[in-house]
Structure 1
Amino acid sequence: MSAAAVSRQASRCGSGWAVPTRPTPAAGSSPRCCRTDAAVTTRLAATVPDLLAGWLRTDPSRPAVTWLDPPSGARVELSRTTLANWVAKIGGLLQDVVGVERGTTVRLDLPTHWLGVAWPLACWSVGCVVFPANREGAPTDVVVVGDDRETPAADGLVVVGTAPLGGRSRIPVPPGALDAGAEVLGQPDDLVAYEPPDAATPATGGLDHTGLLAAATDRAESLGLRPGGRLATDLSPSSAAGLIETVLVPLVAGGSLVLVTAGGAETLASERPDVVAGTLRPTPTTG
Structure 2
Amino acid sequence: MTTVLRSLLQDFREGRTLPSGAPRLTWYGPGGERVELSGKVLDNWVAKSGNLLQDELDGGPGVSISLALPAHWKSFVLVLAAMDLGMLARLDGDALEDADMTATADEALVGRAGEVDTQLIAVALGALSPRWPGELPSGVVDYAGAVRGHGDVFQPWMDADPTQAVLSTGGREIDDAGLRTFATEAADGVRLLVHAGDGLPAALAAALGAWLAGGSVVLVHPEVDVTPRLRESEKISA
| Length-normalised TM-score, structure 2 | 0.85
- Please say which of residues 262-271 and 116-125 is displaced more in the overlay: 262-271
1:75-121 per-position Cα deviation (integer Å, ceiling 9, x unaligned): 11111111110000000000000111212110012233211111101
Match of residue 61, structure 1, among 16, 21, 28? 21
Q: Which runs of 5+ in 1 are unaligned?
A: 1-19, 21-44, 276-287
State how far apart, in whole Å, the 2-side matches of 1:145 and 1:162 are. 10
Distance 1:120 1:237, change over 3 A: farther
For the residue of structure 2 that corresponds to 1:122, the secondary structure is helix
Q: Which runs of 5+ in 2 are unaligned?
A: none
For residues 266-277 of structure 1, the aligned pairs below 5 Å read 266-267=226-227, 268-269=230-231, 270-275=233-238
Deviation at 1:263, TM superposition (A): 2.9
Aligned to 1:280: none
8 Å CA contact 1:120–1:130 kept in 2: the answer is: yes
State how far apart, in whole Å, the 2-side matches of 1:207 and 1:237 are. 20
Match of residue 150, structure 2, among 163, 178, 187? 187
8 Å CA contact 2:86–2:160 kept in 1: the answer is: yes
State how far apart, in whole Å, the 2-side matches of 1:63 and 1:226 are. 17
Give RMSD over aligned pairs.
2.2
- Please say which of residues 54-63 and 73-82 is displaced more in the overlay: 54-63
Distance 1:85 1:166, change over 3 A: farther
Deviation at 1:142, TM superposition (A): 0.5
Larger Rg: 1
Q: Is 1:260 aligned to 2:220, yes or no?
A: yes
1:131-177 per-position Cα deviation (integer Å, ceiling 9, x unaligned): 11434475200000125664243331111121113421113222211
Aligned to 1:167: 130
Counterpart amino acid of residue 63 in structure 1: P
For residues 131-142 of structure 1, the aligned pairs below 5 Å read 131-136=90-95, 138-142=97-101
For residues 188-203 of structure 1, the aligned pairs below 5 Å read 188-203=151-166
Aligned to 1:33: none
Whichever structure has more strand as a proportion of its residues is 2
1:209-235 per-position Cα deviation (integer Å, ceiling 9, x unaligned): 10122321xx12xxxx31111111123
For residues 221-236 of structure 1, the aligned pairs below 5 Å read 225-235=186-196
Aligned to 1:101: 60
Counterpart amino acid of residue 232 in structure 1: L
Query: Aligned residues, how many?
Result: 224
| Length-normalised TM-score, structure 1 | 0.71
Deviation at 1:238, TM superposition (A): 6.4
Distance 1:133 1:233, change over 3 A: same
Aligned to 1:279: none
Deviation at 1:74, TM superposition (A): 1.1
